[in-house]
Amino acid sequence: METSDLKKAGLKVTLPRMKILEILENSETRHLTAEAIYRELLDSGEEIGLATVYRVLTQFEAAGLVCRLHLEGNQAVFELERGGHHDHIVCNQCGRVEEFFDETIETRQREIARQHGFSIKDHALVLYGDCDDSACPHRPV
């Protein structure tokens, strides 16, 4: 379970942390802003401060439990780290986020970095487009 992951990271197992993990696990979209997590906690009757949400998410990120994404908006979104690296496609209309992984792109990135004399440490790739209408509700969030 996750309590062990928390302890492994040197973090006490507290209610706010459990609740936040729970929300990240059960989220439909799997990509949530700190605000969204905060509101969901308030709605379910928890007494939590927004500062705690940000603090905990930052700690989770440092512990490798969570990834922080900077999409076009001004807010970062957080997703549970499930092991595999992946990049993202975002629908401009409904905000839906899908994940993908492509070895061809990964390989080319390494080659390009090498050509430029860089040792690549990380990368951020986000595709923006419109998803097909049938599957695209009007801004669900």
Partner DNA sequence: CGGCTCGATGATCAAGATTCTCATTTCTAT
Partner DNA sequence: ATAGAAATGAGAATCTTGATCATCGAGCCG
Give the footprint of a second copy on this chain (CB under 8 A): 70, 72, 89, 91-92, 98, 100, 102, 104-105, 108-109, 112-113, 116-132, 135
65's contact among a second copy, DNA, none, with CB below 5 to 8 A by partner kind, is none
Task: Please answer whether residues 118 and 124 qualify as being in contact, where contact means their C-beta atoms are separated by less than 8 angstroms.
Answer: no
Judging by DSSP bridges, how do beta strands 77-80 and 87-91 pair with one another?
A: unpaired
Among 2, 39, 54, 99, binds DNA (CB under 7 A): 54
Q: Is 41 in a helix, a strand, or coil?
A: helix
Q: Judged by CB, which is closer to a second copy: 3, or 109?
A: 109
Structure tokens at 114: 């090498």
Q: How many Å apart are CA 17 and CA 35, to the nearest integer?
A: 15
Q: How many Å apart are CA 110 and CA 92, to the nearest integer?
A: 29
Q: Under rule CB under 7 A, how many of the chain's residues touch DNA?
A: 26
Residue 130 interacts with DNA (CB under 7 A)? no
- Residue entry with tokens 């040197």: 10
- Minimal distance, residue 59 CB to DNA, in Å: 7
- Minimal distance, residue 99 CB to a second copy, in Å: 9
Residue 15 interacts with DNA (CB under 7 A)? yes
Q: Which residues bind DNA (CB under 7 A)?
A: 7, 10-17, 33-35, 46-52, 54-56, 58, 74-76
